[in-house]
Amino acid sequence: MGEFATRAVHVGQSHDPVTGAVVPPVTFASTYVMDEVGVPRAGYDYSRSGNPTRSDYEAALASLEEGERALAFPSGLSAEDTVLRALTRAGDSVVYSQDVYGGTFRLFNVLLPAEGKHAVGLDATDSGELRAAIFGNKPRVVWLETPSNPLLDVIDIAATAELAHSVGAFLVVDNTFATPAQQLPLKLGADVVVHSTTKSIGGHADLVGGAAVFAAGLELGRAGVSETGAVPDEAYWWQNATGAVPGPFDCWLGHRGLKTLQTRVRAAAGSALQIAAALTQLPQVAKVRYPGLAEHPGHEIATRQMSGFGQVVSFQVGDPDLAKAICEGTELFALAVSLGAVESLIEYPAAMTHPQKADTSAAIPADLVRLSIGLEDTGDLIADLSQAIARAVAKHG
């Protein structure tokens, strides 16, 4: 089918055979006529179990992540929950990089223990600590976010895959920040990729969704609830059983977002690098976290495993009140959670997206500001940040 941009436009986008419409129509039907009892015409009987618009979207997601199969979900957390249900059972453990999204942290530290499972969080940028945790716990799953949310940690996917597989564990990578336009974890040895498609894949702040994409030939390796023993089938069984499915219009929005994903992410990442560099020149900024900067501790790994550095920049200013004032003082940057949209966003992670981590070893620095860079003019965004920082310093400095 061709290179990434070509597949993004064409996979799952067959022209309508009746009208010739370039964009396939959205199938809103909840149920489908059968000509014979128990024999669906095209494999669809009820839209919880399958929908043509969802199937097209999943085909495109699998193609862009270079996986065997993808499943679309109504949110990123539902995708994560389903993957964990499919891969783990009571008594299993999960080792995870502790700088993860607050909702993911809650899954590991509240829901998994309630199901009799054990989660071990660690600084996965420390290869020695990661190795010790994997060999010491013999986990069923190793879970990474790279780049991470919101500290922009970068973790070596290929090296972690080798460690995980040596103890029989599955490696799951949250690829939300990088997107398949700038990182392909399955090609680096990961077994499953998860996304909040709410973010860059949707790209326009009008969709909540999630996805999981599976490597080829992935077997559960023990008895499960599906008949085949294949991990994608196991995950699909749980998705269908719990009803964790997106509506057709959300699938259409996500699929539309894929068509422009590479162009949007490249443009936003280019601006992000310039903004990160500009922030390093401001005396009020104590630390800038962006893997595209040469001084970032994960820069070499990011350069090796990514084709770009994403559209999220975080920085610290040394004082929580100053950080909050900066967040409240921008004019172009909207004070809002989420990321990856065409509009630039600013937020205070300790209170807005990661409060679940308060009073834990994974607590977010209280002086941290997170930016999601959109598609506005880069100079305008730098000017907006500069004036917000200057006003905040004048008030709290």
Catalytic residues: 48, 101, 174, 199
The C-alpha angle with vertex 243 and arms to 240 and 245, in degrees rounded to 5, equals 90
Assign 275 to helix, strand or coil: helix
Q: Give one DSSP letter per residue of 6-41, joined into a string.
A: HHHHHTT-PPPTTT--SSPPP---SB--EEETTEES
Query: If you count DSSP H runs as helices and E runs as strands, how many of each does the chain have, helices first?
Result: 13, 14
State how beta strands 93-97 and 192-196 pair: unpaired
Name which of 109, 115, 110, 111 is nearest 92 in CA terms: 115
Name which of 102, 51, 104 is nearest 77 in CA terms: 104
- CA R_g for the chain: 21
CB hemisphere CA count around 66 (13 angstroms): 15
Q: 110-140 burial string, b = 16+ CB within 10 Å, else e?
A: eebeeeebbbbbbebbeeeebeebbeebebb
Task: For residue 19, count CB atoms less than 10 angstroms from its CB and return exposed for 0-12, middle for 13-18, buried for 19 or more.
Answer: exposed
